[in-house]
Amino acid sequence: MNVIITGASRGIGYAIASHFAAEGCRLLLCATQAGSLEKAADAIRKAFPQTEVHFFVANLAEASEAKAFGAWCLQYGTPDVLVNNAGKFEPGNCMDEAEGQMDFMMRVNFFSAYHVTRTVLPAMIQAGRGHIFNMCSIASLNAYPGGGSYSVSKHALHGFSMNLRHELKTLGIKVTAVYPGAVYTDSWTGFDNSTGRIMEAEDIASLVVATSKLSPQATVEQLVVRPQLGDL
């Protein structure tokens, strides 16, 4: 099974890659930083020697690079799973955030998924199978203080997911939007999670893999996952 994962060098993306590696899937990974991506790929190969791991370094905020990554993936055959996980958080308010921040957030958090998906989708449609996971956020569902352009970009990814689900449901392709609350990743560097206040990346990864295993007639359209004690 061919599994494409963007933003795969750390955090949720790396956890998802590791869980699919445990299933013996072929991994096609992407991230921006060559060093961290190569290190992640090597760690997965070492932990799961039976797994075939390939990686492609690209800045998916650039449409040309997102399309190039998608085209590179297709050389390995039809994608079975696409996880659009690449993204970045920058706090701010729409009314006074830095000039260009909205454009950047949209390119990183929305258009990266848009261009990669549109590049690989024709092969999935032709095969009549596949599962697309878009890593949205609870910020996709509600406004909150300091959300700004990040929240707007995640709302866009939510809308993209809902439209894809509608468009592809008769073509054998599943679409699942994932909406995590606070997860202990680099975005929470310095946060003391010794009490388990926020979720682990493994929580999201296990749900994604489990969702990918459902029968062809079953689709989880939305996965909303929050810390047990609620949002921070």
CA distances 85 to 16, 111, 180, 230, Å, are 10, 12, 12, 23
pLDDT computed for residue 144 by the predictor: 86
Domain coverage including residue 171: 2-180+206-222
- pTM for this model (two decimals): 0.95
Any domain includes 138: yes
How far does Cα 103 stand from its chain's mean position? 19
Dihedral (CA of 146, 152, 154, 158) sign: positive
Q: Please check whether residue 58 lies inside any domain of the structure.
A: yes
Q: For 50, phi and psi rounded to 5 degrees?
A: -80, -5
- Per residue in 194-212, pLDDT (tens digit) is 888 899 999 999 999 999 9
pLDDT digits over 65-79, tens only?
999 999 999 999 999
Position of tokens 């690989």? 120
Whether 232 and 197 have beta carbons less than 8 Å apart is answered as yes
CATH of the domain at 48: 3.40.50.720
Query: With pLDDT > 70 as the criterion, what percentage of the chain qualifies?
Result: 100
Please give the backbone phi and psi of residue 53, each rounded to the nearest 5 degrees, phi first: -125, 125
Mapped onto helix, strand or coil, the DSSP state of residue 2 is: strand
DSSP H or E segment with residue 95: none
Mean pLDDT over residues 41-47, rounded?
Answer: 97
Percent of the chain scored above 90 by pLDDT?
88
Across the chain, mean pLDDT equals 96
The answer to whether residue 86 sits within a structural domain is: yes
Residues 6+ apart with CB under 8 A from 58: 30, 32, 65, 66, 68, 69
Select which of 14, 114, 150, 179 is catalytic.
150
Cβ contacts of 138-143, under 8 Å, gap ≥ 24: 138/179, 138/180, 138/181, 138/224, 138/226, 138/231, 140/177, 140/179, 141/179, 141/224
In a domain, 194, yes or no: no
CA–CA gap between residue 232 and residue 214 (Å, rounded): 32
The two tokens of residue 100 are 């260009």
Model confidence over 157-198: pLDDT tens digits?
999 999 999 999 999 999 999 999 999 887 787 888 988 889
Total structural domains within the chain? 1
Domain presence at residue 27:
yes
200: in domain: no
Q: Distance (Å, rounded) from C-alpha 231 to C-alpha 195?
A: 15
Position 98 in a domain: yes
Whether 197 maps to a domain, the answer reads: no
Q: For the segment 106-147, what is each residue's pLDDT rounded down to a tens digit?
A: 999 999 999 999 999 999 999 999 999 999 999 899 888 889
150 catalytic per annotation? yes
